[in-house]
Chains A and B, each alone.
Chain A
Amino acid sequence: MNSGNSLKYYILIGVFAVLSCAPFFVSPYYLAMLTSILCWIGLSVSWYFFSGLTKYVSLGSAAFFGIGVYVTAVFGRSLPFPLVLLLAGVIVFLFACGIGLVTLRLRGIFFAIFTYGLAELLNNIILFWEMKVTGTRGRFIITMDVYYPILLITFVALITVLFLMRSNIGLALRMIGDCEEAAIHFGVNTTRYKILGFAISSLFMGLLGAAFAPRWGYIDSGIAFNSLYSFMPAIMTLFGGAQMFIGPIVGAVILSILEEYLLTTFKDYFMLILGSIMIVVILTLPDGITGKLLKRGVKARGVKAPRTPP
């Protein structure tokens, strides 16, 4: 088991090394596409780390991503970029701790509604603020190539999640997902781990937002807090399969390539097709692609398939 896990680290480092050479070989169009794919992988894996393990479904990824975007928008010109990222990380981490502290008592559907409302609330407040106080709509921000920052953050996110999943916090989160009452009885301080897990997951979303923002050059609250950033990580994880670490990565790669293709060829039909994909995936692939393949592989070897955790 242990050797299997260190193998994952080697594979990750190898892929990272190959990808860091990509700008020398790949055309700008494909580099931009690669940047989006990496960003989606980072978001999905961060989402998976908290929501996939604990089954507290968060639809608030856009809130943390958007805060990151706005930190870059506000401080991007006055501070050096690494400092902007640091600032975004600190702000999002503290914000997520606060949100976690007050909301993680909510179970199930209410937590999902709350987090969904959070992104919309921030969007509306900033919209009102810009309309009434600063009298602007949106703002221009620094532009630069963001391939390396995104690659680095996604890589750090993957390594961190992989490491934490085997640590106390990952096991505690998984136990909370399986049966929270049992976890409490075993003496797990569930509140502490839930807040910590939520904050770490949000931290990476905020960092990705701050790093991705210079791609746009111009942002407004609708772009920064677009609900797509709340849905896609959840859908990508479910599509790939929420049982394994590789699931959100597989889901993010396939769906972001599909998104890129649809947005360039059938722009008007994009949301319609995305909605249909959501419906079909949930109805036909309840355990995601990796879950399906795992079951099939196990069956082919003539072993009884293990009951996947619900």
Chain B
Amino acid sequence: MISLITPSLFLDILIGGLILGAIYSVIAAGLNLQYGVTRMLNVAHGDFLMLGAYLTYFSVTLLNMNPFASIIIVGPSMISIGLLVYALIFRRVVTLSRTAGELEFRSLLLFFGLSFVIQNLAMILWTANYRGYEAPTLGSVNVLGVTFEVNRIIIALISILINVFLYLFLRYTKVGLAMRATVDQPEGAQIVGINIYTIFAISFGIGVLLGGWSGILISILYSAINPFMGVPYTLIALVLVVLAGVGSFKGNIVGGFILGYLAYFTMRVIHSALTLVVIYAILILILLVRPRGLFVR
């Protein structure tokens, strides 16, 4: 069960944790953005990831696309799904709720309902069987006796790139500025003329888009696509939002690596069945010690 830590295992954990951490930060970035801006906690985030993975699967098997290229199909479809869901369901609850607490609580239950709907619709449409595809492999590199597939390293690089783009978007565009303003001061943002309902819709769309993109990466990485595959990722994203602190972009990245290393270490050294237990233990610890998150002032 517990194996001794050798230099090669150390290297394995060092790089494996890095890859996992990079993906985790992308998965959680969408959720953190959505919750930070709209105060609606999307517990169906992992199910949007699942939809992204299925879209990738169909792009690869039906259209013979390269899985990395499926981004051009997954991207527009996920944004449309996100905006549609927002317009049909969540716009109404925003106007219906009288207080911020009421909005948080109602939207939480709405998202749980949405999660049941998405998962079970996917099960009825595509059955509960696991599906996978052969991602074109680019060989593997050998570092000090530990082999890493090139695909995994590309996935980590893409994850980091997505984070960089997201950072630039939030930092240097007008929409990004409006989003950050809404996170800090929803009333103030309205006073200076920001239409926060438009901002809500945009951040909802981007959150779903990031969920779908992480679905591409996860499907390349594990090739086990199933209607219920999203649930553990929802949990990881939730823990990461709590760990990072709501609206903290830096915390999201640093926290992603912390969580990635812990999860990978547990998988490789202790026991893979305990990964979720460790993640929950972290969640409980953070909520008890610093419920505002590690990276929020």
Can you add 10 more A-B contacts, CB < 8 Å, to A272-B121, A279-B114?
A: A55-B105, A57-B108, A112-B105, A114-B283, A114-B287, A120-B276, A124-B277, A278-B116, A283-B96, A310-B99
Q: Interface size on B (CB < 8 Å)?
A: 42
* Contact across chains for B109 and A238 when beta carbons are under 8 A apart: yes
A138 within 8 A of B: no
Identify 29 residue pairs between A and B in the complex whose beta-carbon atoms are under 8 Å apart, listed by A's number.
A55-B101, A55-B105, A102-B288, A112-B105, A113-B238, A114-B287, A117-B283, A117-B284, A120-B235, A121-B284, A124-B274, A124-B276, A127-B273, A234-B109, A271-B119, A272-B121, A272-B124, A275-B112, A275-B114, A275-B120, A276-B117, A277-B113, A279-B110, A279-B113, A279-B114, A279-B117, A282-B93, A283-B92, A310-B98
Q: Interface size on A (CB < 8 Å)?
A: 39
The minimal Cβ–Cβ distance linking A177 to chain B, given in whole angstroms, is 10
Contacting residue for A108 out of B104, B114, B119, B120, CB 8 A: B104
CA–CA, A268 and B277, complex, Å: 30
Encode B1-40 as 1/0 by CB contact (under 8 A) with A: 1000000000000000000000000000000000000000
A103 within 8 A of B: yes
Encode A224-254 as 1/0 by CB contact (under 8 A) with B: 0000000100110010000000000000000
**Cβ < 8 Å to A, chain B residues 139-153:** none
B180 within 8 A of A: no
Q: Which residues of B contact A310 (CB under 8 A)?
A: 98-99, 102
Q: Across the interface, name the chain A residue whose C-beta is closest to B92.
A: A283
CA–CA, A109 and B1, complex, Å: 37
The minimal Cβ–Cβ distance linking B155 to chain A, given in whole angstroms, is 27
* Contact across chains for A275 and B280 when beta carbons are under 8 A apart: no
* Contact across chains for B106 and A282 when beta carbons are under 8 A apart: yes
**Cβ < 8 Å to A, chain B residues 244-291:** 271, 273-274, 276-277, 280-281, 283-284, 287-288, 291
Encode A92-107 as 1/0 by CB contact (under 8 A) with B: 0000000000110110
CA–CA, A271 and B116, complex, Å: 6
Q: Which residues of A contact B120 (CB under 8 A)?
A: 268-269, 271-272, 275
B242 within 8 A of A: yes
Q: Across the interface, name the chain A residue whose C-beta is closest to B102.
A: A310
* Contact across chains for B273 and A286 when beta carbons are under 8 A apart: no
Per DSSP, chain A at the interface is helix
CA–CA, A74 and B254, complex, Å: 43
Q: Which residues of B contact A109 (CB under 8 A)?
A: 41, 104-105, 108
The minimal Cβ–Cβ distance linking B112 to chain A, given in whole angstroms, is 6
B73 within 8 A of A: no
* Contact across chains for A113 and B283 when beta carbons are under 8 A apart: yes
CA–CA, A162 and B1, complex, Å: 52
Q: Which residues of A contact B108 (CB under 8 A)?
A: 57, 109, 112
**Cβ < 8 Å to B, chain A residues 264-295:** 268-269, 271-272, 274-279, 282-283, 286
The minimal Cβ–Cβ distance linking B194 to chain A, given in whole angstroms, is 24
The minimal Cβ–Cβ distance linking B174 to chain A, given in whole angstroms, is 29
* Contact across chains for A128 and B273 when beta carbons are under 8 A apart: yes
A258 within 8 A of B: no
B182 within 8 A of A: no
Q: Which residues of B contact A103 (CB under 8 A)?
A: 287-288
A132 within 8 A of B: yes
CA–CA, A231 and B114, complex, Å: 13
The minimal Cβ–Cβ distance linking A149 to chain B, given in whole angstroms, is 30
* Contact across chains for A117 and B280 when beta carbons are under 8 A apart: yes
Q: Which residues of A contact B117 (CB under 8 A)?
A: 272, 275-276, 279
Q: Which residues of A contact B102 (CB under 8 A)?
A: 310
* Contact across chains for B96 and A286 when beta carbons are under 8 A apart: yes
* Contact across chains for B280 and A128 when beta carbons are under 8 A apart: no
* Contact across chains for B277 and A110 when beta carbons are under 8 A apart: no
